[in-house]
Amino acid sequence: MQNSDDKPGVPLRSATSNEEAQGAIDALLHEERVFRPLPETLSRANISPHQLAEAREQADRDSLAYWEEAAEELEWFAKWDSVLDDSNAPFYRWFPGAQCNIVHNALDRHIETANKNKLALIWEGEPGDSRTFTYYELYRHVNKFANALRSLGISRGDRVIVYMPPLPETIIAMLAVAKIGAAHSLVFAGFSAKALRDRINDSQAKCVITADGFYRNGRVVHLKSTVDEALAGVCETCAESMVVVHRANVETDMQEGRDYWYEDLVRQARPYAETEVMDASDPLFLLHTSGATGKPKGIVHGHGGYMVGVHRTFSWVFDIKPTDLFWCTADPGWITGHSYGVYGPLLNGATTVLYEGHPLYPQADRVWSTVERYGVTILYTVPTLIRMLMRFGDEYPRMRDLSTLRLLGSVGEPINPEAWVWFHKVIGKGDCPLLDTWWQTETGMFMISPLPVSLLKPGSVTKPLPGVEVDVYDENGHPVPPGKGGLLVVTKPWPSMMIDVYNDPERYKETYWSKFPGVYLAGDVARKDEDGYIWIQGRADDVLVIAGHRIGTAELESALASHKAVAEAAVIGIPDAIKGEVAKAFVLLNQDWEPSHQLTKELKEHIRRELGPVAVVKTIAYPDSLPKTRSGKIVRRILKAQELGQDVGDTSTLEH
Ligand code: 6R9
């Protein structure tokens, strides 16, 4: 691997230093393709372009009235005194005085309607086994497990860790914990004992729910033993009990008085459990974000506002019909799995699909065969998987019947236009709108996203949803003109906003609300085009400064990925004596391509042609893989630390 940091030490320039205080992000990419909604899409959409425009207008006039109407679609034990209490901003409280429980709306109320016998969940294990649950069946399981948890002494206000692979019991556990008024905190089953221990300690969880093991990529992964290791060093009052689900039939040591088999507890449990009456802002869950640096933050969401935001955005963006079969490929341990794998579908009485294993197991058509087998109508996934599947060519999807698909969705990272167009054309046959949804663990719900009737531009997340107000600011808090990039901010509170950082309100204020008073700082850089469309350019921490030009990573990476040899690329800035910083690219090649000097030269020229002379890529490396989080995001800080010979920091949340 060639290195470019052999120049005399030029200090790394921070993208937020005063020197760059005036700087906006340079926009380099000129993507001009547009996709208009087809007549069939327009005629069958729940929300027409006219209704969307009206909703926007209404929300612009009075966003609280807009969200109040959305809240009326759900059931409450007691109504709110007002829609929003902003007297202690930035600790906004939505629907103060209201009482509710998200589980009442996601499950209990469906038992009284025609949804009772409808499928709530289709689960498929990696080896090919599958289980289905009607709303009534899911309701029974949740009731019993809620009672089981109560019998272990768990009650309102407690925290429970769910360290599980994607199993039906993962969803049952989330709902049972919420039903009894405790808060769930999911931890990806791939995280290490240390990462798990940190999260148990940070949340002071009373109980851990786990499985004996699970199937991943053809292997059995032991899980319970990792929990044992984690528990060896937790705080004294933490994790008094552990519940273990039988999944993989592996040897499991059970500690008398602490560990319980899920099946034993449920067998003895009574069939009905009261749903706890919660205040709208009582915690529903904690979810730790990995965070670029420092210790993970426990993001807290509440029952009421979260439920309103997720219910409305799921139903509008995915245009939900009674016959839909919705598949979110995200693990429940990621916010995407929470909001749109579990709560969004269930709040809307939809059928959701959950898959346990690796998306390429036993071969690269697993996603397509799953769509075919169940007749999935809406497929919501991540750019990294789309790019990975694209690498295998069109053969696999062509062999499968994908005609049931009517909508596609993307989340988690900027989707490069080439991957967008492939997904739209080869998987969606050109007639499935592709909904690129921008949001965060902290926002809880979609913030910027098209609806199926929107005009689409590949690579743009389009416009904020009704009731959401965003802008792009320069360092001084002034909106930047169209075409320029800057810091993405949210300028009005929204119902499913995070409630707090667990046990650290100072960090909540400092991280999100201190740069611009009264305005939420998302931590992303973005630009708006002439039509008001938003293009996400990457994380603000990853911005490059080349010869005084500030450049987001997404455009350089998209330009690289538009070359036929490139499957995926990550770009970082490294110090350079003359230009301050230059780009180094890490490139994964498509099948049938080999690294060569010739190819490196060609890629550098390709970038220059696509983006202009500012976009200097000095070196290109061809690693076998890129460091990614469990949710599929490239972790550029690790590439950078390795490049500069620095400590790579916390890697406990990486995909292995
Ligand atoms: C839902 C989720 C949040 C960060 C966010 C941004 C990136 C998410 C995106 C996107 C471009 C999209 N991100 N969606 N970037 N286009 N459609 O991913 O939550 O794990 O908290 O990450 O992900 O950088 O700030 P989370």
Q: Which of 579, 565, 497, 172 is nearest to 313 (CA)?
A: 497
Given a cut of 80, is residue 284 above it in pLDDT?
yes
Given a cut of 80, is residue 649 above it in pLDDT?
no
* Mean pLDDT on 235-254: 96
Given a cut of 70, is residue 616 above it in pLDDT?
yes
ipTM, two decimals? 1.00
Tell the residue nearest (CA) to atom 5 of ligand 1.
440
The pLDDT, as a whole number, for residue 24 is 81
Given a cut of 70, is residue 14 above it in pLDDT?
no
* Mean pLDDT on 71-83: 98
Distance (Å, whole) CA 197 – CA 188: 13
The pLDDT, as a whole number, for residue 267 is 97
Distance (Å, whole) CA 140 – CA 243: 18
Is residue 292 very low, low, confident or very high in pLDDT (cuts 50, 70, 90)? low
Tell the residue nearest (CA) to atom 17 of ligand 1.
438
Within 6 A (CB) of ligand 1 lie 289, 335-336, 411-414, 436-441, 461, 522-524, 536, 539, 631
- Among the ranges given (91-105, 179-193, 421-435, 627-641), the one the predictor scored with the smallest mean pLDDT: 627-641
What is the distance in A from the centroid of ligand 1 to the CA of 412? 4
Q: Which of 355, 354, 365, 368 is nearest to 402 (CA)?
A: 368
Residues 6+ apart with CB under 8 A from 656: 190
Residue 131 phi, psi (nearest 5): -140, 145
* Mean pLDDT on 85-104: 98
The pLDDT, as a whole number, for residue 31 is 85
The preferred substitution site among 314, 435, 438 for testing ligand 1, maximizing ligand atoms within 8 Å of CB, is 438
The pLDDT, as a whole number, for residue 527 is 95
Closest ligand 1 atom to residue 448 Cα is 17
What is the distance in A from the centroid of ligand 1 to the CA of 115? 32
Residues 6+ apart with CB under 8 A from 57: none
Is residue 582 very low, low, confident or very high in pLDDT (cuts 50, 70, 90)? very high
pLDDT tens string 129-148: 999 999 999 999 999 999 99
Is residue 499 very low, low, confident or very high in pLDDT (cuts 50, 70, 90)? very high
pLDDT tens string 17-36: 333 435 688 888 888 899 99
What is the distance in A from the centroid of ligand 1 to the CA of 290? 12
Q: Which of 96, 56, 7 is nearest to 469 (CA)?
A: 56
What is the distance in A from the centroid of ligand 1 to the CA of 327? 19
Tell the residue nearest (CA) to atom 22 of ligand 1.
440
Q: Which residues of 77-91 are buried (b: 16+ CB within 10 A; e: fewer)?
A: eeebeebbbeeeebe
Tokens 């205080």, residue located: 21
pLDDT tens string 449-489: 999 999 999 999 999 999 999 999 999 999 999 999 999 99
Distance (Å, whole) CA 446 – CA 470: 12
Q: Would you tell me how many other CB atoms lie within 10 Å of the CB of residue 294?
A: 10
* Mean pLDDT on 187-211: 96
The pLDDT, as a whole number, for residue 25 is 87
Tell the residue nearest (CA) to atom 4 of ligand 1.
440
Provide the mean pLDDT of the chain.
Answer: 94
What is the distance, to the nearest Å, from the Cα of residue 314 to the centroid of all Cα atoms in its chain?
A: 14
Contact 594, 395 (CB under 8 A): no
β-strands 213-216, 325-328: how paired? unpaired
What is the distance in A from the centroid of ligand 1 to the CA of 385? 15
Closest ligand 1 atom to residue 633 Cα is 23
What is the distance in A from the centroid of ligand 1 to the CA of 414? 8
What is the distance in A from the centroid of ligand 1 to the CA of 411? 6
Given a cut of 60, is residue 12 above it in pLDDT?
no
Instruction: Tell me the pTM.
Output: 0.95
Tell the residue nearest (CA) to atom 16 of ligand 1.
414
Tokens 């949710």, residue located: 631
